[in-house]
Structure formats: structure tokens, C-alpha cells
Amino acid sequence: MATEGLQSSEWERSRISNQDVNLLKKLRFMKKENTLIFPGDKSYPTPRIGYRVTFIDHLIRGLATPIHEFVRGLLFVYGLQLHHLTPNSILHIAIFITLCESFLGTPPNWGLWKRIFLVRRNSSHTTAYNVGGVVICVRPDVEYFDVKFPDSVQGWRKRWLYVQEAHIDHQEYNVAPFDGGEKIVRRRSLDAEASDDEKTATGALMKRIHELQNTHGRELSGIQITAYFLRIRVQPLQARKNPLWMYAGAKDGDRFSKDLSIKDLERLIQKMSSLSKKDTIPSSCRVEPFSSTNALPQVLSSLPPLPEGGDVEERTVVTDDNQGSSRPESEVAGSHKSAASSEKENETEPLMQEFIRLGNQFIGYRDHANSLKEALAKANKRADNLALELESQNHSFVRKTSQEYELEKPEDDRLLDALSLLEIYGDEVRQSISDAKAGLSQLFPYFFPKTKEPSTFAAFAKHFNSQEDLGLKLRQEGLKVGVEGTIALVADSQQDVDWARVGDTKEMETKRWQSLIKAGKPNSKKILAYLGCKPTPAPSSSKPEVK
């Protein structure tokens, strides 16, 4: 492939040691069969359907599938793939998500992220990297936690492998499929900074971060945050059932594995930091994280000594009656503020609600999606008022001008453009999947004659995505049938053939094989016609593939 050739020089044959495999087993990444696949002798990633390319150094720093929504949002906004990020960048994201959920009591905040971090290209004097070509770092004017990164992570680019995609009920999309030829494009989002409104909205959170850093005797450090998510065995970059402020201890459903020993925990922290064996590894945080035993306050202002204001109103915790769990009001605003508003929103057209939900999948479109949601609610309210007015007319049919909601500037509405593209591409994908399913349905009985044909495309793909070379299997089966058919035809013609000598024929050269095939062509046409098969226009140029 052309794209493979462009970037293959940066990829080397994956070199995963027994020590790496044992670490993955200890961290329970291999608790299910085929969760991870090692590439063997391959020097360029070619993941199967349903798998993504990742690195051991990314996994041990908090990455797991299904990917956390905030991570998917970052990749979308910056136009990146996972292999573009360095291990230290992955750890920055893991620490930020843990900080927000465990110590600030808020979902990862996009405005806060832009206040703290910037994104820059990673290159040497002569080379602009693609693998690890992006570095996330703290803005020079921001006071943030000292993570004590190592100067370099030796050999991490060689430790690549495939991780199976996983899904949870409320998450429809995962990370984009691997594309080794996708270049890192310089786009405006890489230079994005927090707006004045975002700075105002996140002022209380920034103040809380400074307090966590500087409160005498209770200072929180980047190493403490790292040690915390490693110790509780929750992968911060994984989509989870509950946020970390609801962490329930040893029985928590989001735990990736059982507790690590103190020695294993210390080795892991030393592996991803500049700390040595002589340094003290924190066994606990000086600030108690939020959890099921240290409940999130009702209002952010009750976090001493934060003042009221800023994001206080948005931090009120409400209960989702459908899920039976507590979530910040900012997550459920517009759908659970009151029974009346919930009922109104349920009446919004299903198609538009689906588009709004799709828009909310991506950070860059959330503001537009929320604006559209409010506009649709107003349109529904006008429709309800009209219905009430009609009812008050004693059910008489009164003709009125229909009241329709229209966008103020439909030709310049970015969300509408994006949703239109999503609809177009969605139709193309659905048609492509339908065509692929029809094709696989025709092939299925030949490859799996004793298996019931599946009903979904995903099930088809799972069957055809076997480690076994199905094409070779089919060709071998065809060869077997052909040999048996030839023997039967010869026997019926009552020709004397020493089949023992035929079976003892040694491997012949390709040219000899081709000449014999060519000589047999006239008679093979007659035999194939007898069998009801259409002969190919040219003789076979290769010998049969046998095990």
C-alpha cells in the first residue's frame, strides 16, 4: 500500500519480551482470550477488524478499551490517532482525568484542559515523527503538578501490539480505525486556548488545584495521583460505569484487576517516572479522594476553602432516577431539571434527538448541540400551545398557519453542516455494510458448510476474521475435491494408473508444473464440462498449496 510505504520507516518489528508479557498478565490485560494480540514478525501494523494498534507503555499508563469519551474527544478535536501520542502524553491525560473525577469532583473539563495544556509537534533536528509525533505539555505560565516524567521512555515505539475494541451500552463509538499513513496536520485546534468565558467558568477549579498543590502538610503531587489510580486498579482512560468520585473499593465494578503488591506498585511507578529505588513512593494521597466513602459534597462551595461562585451552580449533584446513581447536574442538564422539562424533551423528534446525541459525542460540537436542543424545545413548546388552543375550540378543526422552527442562518450553521455530513456518511456506511453482508452471505456456506449462517454483519465479520487462512483452507478443500474427482473419472474410464507411483511423485519445479498443466488443458476442459464447471481462460501459474 502507498500509505504504508510512506510511514513504514517509523515502524519496526514489534519486540515484546517475556517480561512485558508477564507484566500485562499481572495487570490483567490478558484475562480474556484474544483481548491482546501480539504481531509476531510483522514490521508494520495490520490490525484485524475490531482491533486497534496500541503500545504496552500506553496500557500501563491507564489506557484500555472502550476509550473514555474525553480521550475520544481530544483525538477528534486535534485530529490525532493513538499512535501519535507519546507515553508521557498518555500519562498527562490519565492524571488529568483522575484529578478531575477524584479530587475536583467534576467530569473532565474541556475549558480547564485548554487552560493547563498545550499540544506541540515532536521532532528531531532532521525528522518530524509520526509515531509519537505529538507531545502534550503544561503551559509555561501555569502552575501544575510536577509529574516527574523520565527524560525518555526507551524503546516504547517497538513495543506495539493490537488491543481488542470493547463496548459499553451507552457508548456507540470508539476510536477511529488505525491509519498508519495519516499525517499530523497543523490545525488551529492544536493552538486552542481557553476563552474568557471558559476562564471565568473554570476559575474555581483552578483555585482548587492551587490549593491542592500548596496547602501545607496536605500537598498533592502528580506522583500521588499516578500512584492512586494504579493502586485502586481503575484505568482512567477507559470508559467506565461510574466516575471515580463513586469508586466503591475492592468490589468496584470498574476495577481492572486485584490489588498489586507494594513492590509491584513501586516498580510500576518507577517505570513511568524519574524516581529511582532510593526515592520514596507515596503509599497514599495526602488529600482524601472522593469516593463512595468520601461522598461528593452537594455543592462545590462546600469544598473548603473554595468560595461560592464560578462553577458552583453547575456542580450541584442530582440523582438520575433511571440509573439510580448520582451525577453532576452539568451532565444531565436539560433532561432531568424537572419532570415537566423531561417530558417535553422526550417529545422532541427522534431523528433530531439522535443528531443532537451524535453532536454531543464530540467536544467541538457540544455548544452547538446544546443550542439546537434549546431551540427545539422552544419549537415543541409552540406546538404544544397550538395543540391546547385547538382543544379549547371544542375539537373543531381550525386552520392555522403551521408554526415551524427555522435556523437563523442555515447556510452558515456549522452543526447543521456537520450533521448533514454525518447523515450522508452514515447512509454510505449502512449501504456498504449491507453490500458486504450480502457478499459474505454468499461465501459463508463454502467456508463454513456445517455452521448456521449468522444474522448480523458483526457475526459474519467475526467468522471471517479467523486466525486461520480461510482462502488457503478453501483452496486446499477444492484441491482435495479435484483430486478425488480425477481419480473417480480415471477409474470409470477403466484406465490402468499406478496411483501409488502418482502419490510418490516428488516436488517438481514450477516451470515443469506449468508445462504439464498447459498440456493437460484440452482434456481438462472436457472433464470440467462433465462436472458442470466453467474452465478458466488461462492455465494455473502456481502449484497447489498444501500443508
Q: How does residue 189 score in pLDDT terms, banded at 50, 70 and 90? A: confident
Write the pLDDT tens digit of every residue in 240-298.
999 999 999 999 999 999 999 999 999 999 999 998 888 888 877 888 999 999 988 86
Q: How does residue 134 score in pLDDT terms, banded at 50, 70 and 90? A: very high
Cell of residue 427, nine digits: 447512509
Write the pLDDT tens digit of every residue in 395-444.
444 444 444 445 555 566 666 666 777 777 777 777 778 778 888 888 77
CA angle 244, 247, 252 (to 5 degrees): 125
* Statement: residue 125 has pLDDT above 90: no
Write the pLDDT tens digit of every residue in 18-71.
999 999 999 999 888 889 999 988 889 999 888 999 999 999 999 999 999 999
Nearest-angstrom CA–CA distance, 10 and 186: 20
From residue 246, alpha-carbon distances to 113, 149, 345 in Å are: 22, 29, 28
**Sheet strand arrangement including 160-164:** 36-37, 160-164, 51-55
CB neighbourhood size of 25 (10 A): 13
pLDDT above 70 as % of the chain: 72
Which residues are CB-neighbours of 199 under 8 A, at least 6 positions away?
111, 115
Q: How does residue 100 score in pLDDT terms, banded at 50, 70 and 90? A: very high
Q: How does residue 534 score in pLDDT terms, banded at 50, 70 and 90? A: low
Write the pLDDT tens digit of every residue in 334-382.
333 344 444 444 444 555 565 555 555 444 455 556 666 666 677 777 7
The C-alpha torsion from 461 through 467 and 41 to 58, rounded to 10°, is 50
DSSP string of 258-281?
SPPPHHHHHHHHHHTSS--TTSPP
